[in-house]
Amino acid sequence: MKPRPPRETEVPQSWRERLKALRNVPPLLGMVWRTSPGLSIVTLLLRLIAALFPLATLWVSKLIIDLVVRAIRHQAVDRSLIWKFLILELLLAIASDTVGRFISLVDSLLGDRFTNHVSIRLMEHANSLDLVSFEDPVFYDKMERARRQTTARLGMLGSLAGMAQQFITLLSLISAVVFFSPWLLLLLAAATLPVFFGETRFAMLNYSMLYRYTPERRELDYLRWLGASNESAKEVKIFGLGRYLAERSRGLFERFYAENKHLAIHRAVHGAFLNLIPTSAYYVAYAFILVKALAGALTVGDLTLMAGAFSRARSIMENLVSGLAGVSEQALFIKDLFDFFQTNPTIVSKPGALPAPRPIRSGFEFRNVSFAYPGSDQRVLSNISFRFYPQERIALVGENGAGKTTLVKLLARLYDPSEGSILLDGVDLRDYDVDDLRHEIGVIFQDYMRYDMLAAENIGFGRIDDLQNQERVARSAEKSLAAGVVAKLPKEYRQMLGRRSEGGVDLSTGQWQKIALARAYMRDAQILILDEPTASLDARAEFDVYQRFVDLTAGKMAVLISHRFSTVRMADRILVLENGHIVEQGSHYSLVQLGGKYAELFEMQAAGYR
């Protein structure tokens, strides 16, 4: 299978786009500065000092050589100066090494702080974004590329700092070269331009390839996880999936490798030819210096200084050109990081937003509500209208894909309607403070989280402000029947759950579900939503859980989603969804008597028990 060619809008191809990407470098440096101004100042000062050592060392060497030559020619020389300059050169070498080590130390500390700073910013920004963003593959690819920047860009920061240091060194060396012959500097500069343009072109091609393969790289990471995970190990072995997963991974890897190999070969060949230009220019200039020296226009010390300064200047210019090409390449990746930070949520609290009503007086009203995911014309819900009253328990029933979970996500304002409106006590949900509104809603989805953390944290996360309230945690566990699970753990509420940490204890699916339910009860919200959280419990355990659910939601609003009609019938009112529409609503008895969709589903399930 050949790699998919990039779409025209996928990858910046023009020089304008490349230069535009460099605009992200100053904001990145600003992030580094905000990470630690003190360490930033220290590393700048150290690099400024280190940048002057090369010219100082060359100058001292020139003085030593000139004195030695004059002594050999029996000219009047203070021989003690030779040894003094030698000691000075030794001190410069020691100082250069010491400063270099301190630069590495400071850069390491600054790099660690920067990595942590960006990682936390990513987490904080991701937390502010809409749920629907995380369900968009394009956004997920952007977030994946941004996540990789937290460590990958440390090399770029080192390169930028090194380039700044080399640039200062170059300026000091240039002063010696320009003093001798300015046109040599122009020769070097002109010779390095082809290398810069060549390297930048291949940097763009490399970014294009990595950008294009973001979904496939994510797939490869997932395949690696499937092939070596305790969660998938049972099915992989039972169904013999190991070889298939390995072969599929190998196919993806070979595609990456083939294109990367093709690009790397072309880059190496073109680079070899382009490097002939600055190499030839250097030796032309070197020959010119030798001619001047042989003509007596330069002393031996001058020759040594000029040759050394010119050689180092040439090397630094090549490094700067290569570094600039590298920075321009990495600036494209920084663009992904800042693009992610510039992604703004749409579900936010308005200025002066209202607090959620306490208590809720007239309940919720859905008015002609429709919902479709951004970029899709297919509606998940269409023209939904109903009332949800205080202290009422309603159940949502329907086949998979009918829109039940989407409806409760709209109720919790995880989504906003594409059309229509949802009112709470006669006020549009969008007029309430988002965080305050969600504080009044406790939800446990069928794909609830299993946190590899302490049992107390798994429960306490339901109300993070009371995480340390052990009495409340224990009370919530009692409500969900999770107290019996915790009592059997070696360290009870201080027991680490999951296998990620040493000494962690994994739970059965049913036990995890009770922990998740405790998390919902921990919230003590006015509205409690259970979305198939007991699907893996046996019938008796599920009945016990829902019986407690009925008892504990007395005086509260509750939404129940379940495929089991033995539990659904506990609701005061049942809404039947089909293809995004409410087709029936009423009590269990009235819907059975109606003989419609609900009665059909009920009879199908009842037949399985006969």
| For the chain, percent of residues with pLDDT exceeding 90 | 16
Position 547 in a domain:
no
| 335 and 457 inside one domain | no
Position 219 in a domain:
yes
How many CB atoms are closer than 10 A to CB 377? 6
Domain CATH code at residue 73: 1.20.1560.10
Position with higher pLDDT, 220 vs 537: 220
Average pLDDT over residues 30-54: 88
Position 600 in a domain:
no
pLDDT of residue 384: 92
With bands split at pLDDT 50, 70 and 90, how would you rate the model's confidence at 419? very high
Position 197 in a domain:
yes
Answer with the one of 501, 524, 547 that is the final residue of a domain.
524
Exposure b/e, 527-566, CB count within 10 A at least 16 = b: bbbbbbbbeebeeeebbebbebbeeebeebbbbbbbebbe
| 337 and 475 inside one domain | no
pLDDT of residue 202: 66
pLDDT of residue 278: 67
* Among 83, 95, 89, 86, CA closest to 46: 95
pLDDT at 441 over 70: yes
Is-contact 407 582, C-beta < 8 A? no
pLDDT of residue 11: 45
Distance of CA 477 to the CA centre of its chain: 34
99 φ/ψ angles, rounded to the nearest 5 degrees: -60, -40
CA distance 126 to 344: 10
Position 400 in a domain:
no
Tell me which residue range forms the domain holding 102: 15-341
With bands split at pLDDT 50, 70 and 90, how would you rate the model's confidence at 1? very low
| 42 and 176 inside one domain | yes
Mean pLDDT value across the chain: 79
Answer with the one of 524, 539, 563 that is the final residue of a domain.
524
Pairing of strands 364-372, 379-388: antiparallel
| 131 and 267 inside one domain | yes
| 156 and 27 inside one domain | yes
The predicted-structure confidence for 136-174, as pLDDT tens digits, reads as follows: 777 777 777 677 665 556 666 777 777 788 888 877 777
| 100 and 249 inside one domain | yes
Lowest-confidence segment of 215-219, 234-238, 350-354, 574-578 by average pLDDT: 234-238
CA distance 220 to 223: 5
Distances (CA, A) of 339 to 131, 155, 331, 527: 18, 20, 12, 37
| 119 and 259 inside one domain | yes
Total domains, the chain? 2
pTM of the model: 0.65
Position 411 in a domain:
no
Answer with the one of 481, 499, 524 that is the final residue of a domain.
524
Position 186 in a domain:
yes
Lowest-confidence segment of 92-101, 312-321, 452-461, 483-492 by average pLDDT: 312-321
Lowest-confidence segment of 1-15, 391-405, 435-449 by average pLDDT: 1-15
Position 270 in a domain:
yes
| 337 and 458 inside one domain | no
pLDDT of residue 12: 43
pLDDT at 192 over 70: no
pLDDT at 2 over 50: no
